[in-house]
Amino acid sequence: MTLTADEALLFRFSALTYNAHRIHYDHNWVRKEGYSDLVVHGPLQALMMGELIRRYGDGLVGKQFAYRLISPMIGPQTFTVLAGEGGVNASVEVHDVHGAVTAVSTLAPIDPQQE
């Protein structure tokens, strides 16, 4: 599954999530923060990993979804979300336009004894 995270989407996702950090929408500011271009939101990548599981897996209900950001995704781009080792019901990965893994997620059953 792919998503084009262009400048408009990054700005709108910042507004939707009340994320005022300028690294997602201000080209001048990102240089002050040490980045070469806008940074694609980690939660947007997590949302897309969850969407892949919803579409092609067993869903998220009754499961624990956890994710970890591996490296920043720099610059507006079309990124890819795909199943990791063990398939979509075990893990999902996000790859940037260059093929680097930027985020991973895992899915596990929720133990009713733990609630």
pLDDT tens readout for residues 6-64: 999 999 999 999 999 999 999 999 999 999 999 999 999 999 999 999 999 999 999 99
Structural domains counted in the chain: 1
Q: How far apart are CA 68 and CA 48, in angstroms?
A: 13
Burial 39-61 (b: 16+ CB within 10 A, else e): bbbbebbbebbbebbeeebeeee
- Give the model's confidence band at 113: pLDDT under 50 very low, under 70 low, under 90 confident, else very high: confident
Q: How far apart are CA 115 and CA 98, in angstroms?
A: 41
Q: How far apart are CA 41 and CA 58, in angstroms?
A: 26
pLDDT tens readout for residues 77-112: 999 999 999 999 999 999 999 999 999 999 999 987
Residues contacting residue 21 through CB under 8 Å, at least 6 positions apart: 14
Whether pTM exceeds 0.75: yes
Domain that includes residue 50, residue range: 2-114
User: For residue 26, what is the domain's CATH number?
Assistant: 3.10.129.10
